Amino acid sequence: MIGQLFNTLANCLKIPELRSRILFTALVLAVARVIALTPVPGLDGSKLALYFAETAKTSGGGVFGLYSMFTGGALEQCAVGALGIMPYISATIFIQLLTAVVAPLGKLAREEGGRAKLVAYGRYLTVLLCLGHGLIVALGWENPEKAFQGFSGSLVTAENLWLYRIQTVMILTCGTLFLMWLGEQITERGIGNGVSLLITVGILARLPNAGKSLVSMFQQENSKFLHLVLLVVVLAIVVAGVVLITQGQRKIPVQYAQRAVGRKIMSGGTSFMPLRVNYAGVMPVIFAQAILMFPGMIFEKLAAILPAGFGKQVSIYIASHLGRQGFTYLFLYGLMILFFSYFWVATQFNELQVADDLKKHGGYIPGVRPGTATSDFLHNTMSRITLAGAVFLVVIAIIPTVMSAYLKIDPLVAQFFGGTSLLITVGVLLDTMRQMESYLLMRHYDGFLKKGKVRGRA
């Protein structure tokens, strides 16, 4: 299989168009890494990078560690790309959710050229989010002792604070907009989804540090070679499970009746409608993490500032139970992933519109009446397969926490055994392989696998 993989990669470079797209993508990703490592003028990020390295060993970095992962380490380096691509993703998701609940936006999405207008609205919203978020980050760097618990020292080296604030906000905003443009260039001229690849490369940039932590962990006297073998086996099983569920789909058969279009008779046929098992992707995990981290931080701050008494004891009790390694946190984490999985499907999958489109094109599901019965059938089917995908997401999401809390594995290493890191990386790499395989099959080359092509695996 390894030989087949190298032969396939060699065949990719033999196709001129695919070779140019791969090289262009690699060049743009290299530029993105430069942005993530270029410091903002007037800041000394070495102390903050050391602080993040220390907190990652104990608690995984908390909410700031999660955000730093999506920025490829740019936040802890006080770099130009410290906001990352997340403001653009947040704006895009917000517009998508509004499209599902606001009738004028939903109508605009179905009109010709409406999608382009929605994309433009997302870009405008990205600028506003960058300005607000950039100011918060600039003030956090200005007062690191208040923003980062346990941090001591100063990061700002500029003398004029107002000049520093305005300059930093503008630089961070321009950095995110430049990353957004780079992602769109990859999607248009490169290979794969540009925005997703930017996030994936930022995640994979942590692999060298994770490797060092893994080596130092097994250099201890109480560690054995068998433990390393078990970790490799667990990683292989988890990756295989992620691939299977990510590619898994329920094929609903669809029959098209014979119909007349003008003077022509269009023959009917049989097709299928693929319903993905993990329709929501990694979004429920991201939403659940983002929401659950803030209550713990709030009660932790309250416990620090409240005087001794009942309120302080309650705050300490809640903060301890909402810690990332507590059972209460894991239980609420799993419930929120289940909730957001169904929420995402409810807002993004419109079974009424799908049933109506099938009816307009003369299609029907065998054994199911067109119209309301079809929409009810799709709703019930999607609910069942969403439950399977959501349960899988819960298992994958809690693996890093369980490994770091109960098996005493470095959180920097454990994050690659599940959670958002593995889900995003595997999903993006599968999508990129699928696009590369389409070029290979057009030129009559074998794909990455001789059996079970990436594009058709179910």
Backbone Cα Rg of the chain: 25
CA distance 53 to 348: 38
Taking the C-alpha atoms of residue 450 and residue 457, their distance in angstroms, rounded to an integer, is 12
Residue 374 C-alpha from the chain's centroid:
32
Q: What is the 3-state secondary structure (H, E, C) of 70-123?
A: HCCCCCCCCECCCCCCHHHHHHHHHHHHHHHHCHHHHHHHHCCCHHHHHHHHHH
Identify the CA nearest to 217 among candidates 396, 57, 382, 97. Answer: 57
Rounded Cα distance, 454 and 433, in Å: 7
CA 7 to centroid of chain Cα atoms: 30
Q: Which two tokens stand for residue 409?
A: 């594995």
What one-letter code names the amino acid at 329?
Answer: Y
Q: Which residue(s) pair with 276 in the sheet?
A: 249
Sheet holding 269-276, edge to edge: 269-276, 249-256, 363-364
For residue 253, give the nearest of 152, 368, 141 by alpha carbon.
368
Half-sphere exposure of 50 (CA within 13 A, CB side): 9
Query: Rounded to the nearest 5 degrees, what angle is found at the Cα of 440, between the Cα atoms of 437 and 445?
Result: 125
Return the pLDDT at 31: 93
Hey, how many other C-beta atoms are within 10 angstroms of the C-beta on 30? Answer: 10
**Residue 120 is encoded by which pair of tokens?**
């433009």
Intrachain domains 25-198 and 239-417 with the same fold: yes
CATH number for region 239-417: 1.10.3370.10
Q: What does DSSP say about strands 259-261 and 363-364: parallel, antiparallel, or unpaired?
A: unpaired
Contact 417, 400 (CB under 8 A): yes
| DSSP secondary structure letters along 258-276 | -EEETTEEE--EEEEEEEE
Closest CA to 196 of 75, 73, 25: 25
What are the pLDDT digits (tens) for 427-456?
888 888 888 888 877 776 666 655 545 544
Domain boundaries, the chain: 25-198, 239-417
Per-residue pLDDT in tens (0 to 9) along the chain, 458 residues: 566 667 777 777 788 888 888 899 999 999 999 998 888 888 877 777 777 777 766 555 556 666 777 787 788 888 898 888 888 888 888 888 788 778 888 788 777 778 888 889 889 999 999 999 889 888 888 887 776 766 777 788 777 888 888 999 999 999 999 999 999 999 899 888 888 888 888 888 888 877 777 777 776 655 566 777 788 888 888 888 888 888 888 888 888 776 655 566 556 677 888 888 888 888 788 778 777 776 766 776 677 677 777 777 777 777 777 666 677 888 888 898 899 889 888 888 888 888 888 888 778 888 888 888 888 998 999 999 999 889 988 888 888 888 877 777 777 777 778 777 888 888 888 888 888 888 877 776 666 655 545 544 44
Phi then psi dihedrals of residue 260, to 5 deg: -100, 130
The dihedrals phi and psi of 363, each to the nearest 5 degrees, come to: -105, 155
Backbone angles phi, psi at 275, to 5 degrees: -110, 115
Rounded CA-CA distance 257/315 in Å is: 64
Amino acid at 348: Q
Predicted pLDDT at 26: 92
Q: What is the pTM of this model?
A: 0.79
Residue 223's pLDDT is: 57
pLDDT at residue 14, as a whole number: 80
Helix ranges (H only) for 148-282 are 161-189, 194-204, 207-218, 225-247
Q: Which tokens in the block code for residue 299?
A: 């009660």
CB neighbourhood size of 69 (10 A):
24
Q: Any idea which fold 25-198 has?
A: Preprotein translocase SecY subunit (1.10.3370)
> What's the confidence (pLDDT) of residue 456?
46
**3-state SS, residue 138:** helix
- For residue 47 the two structure tokens come to 């102390």
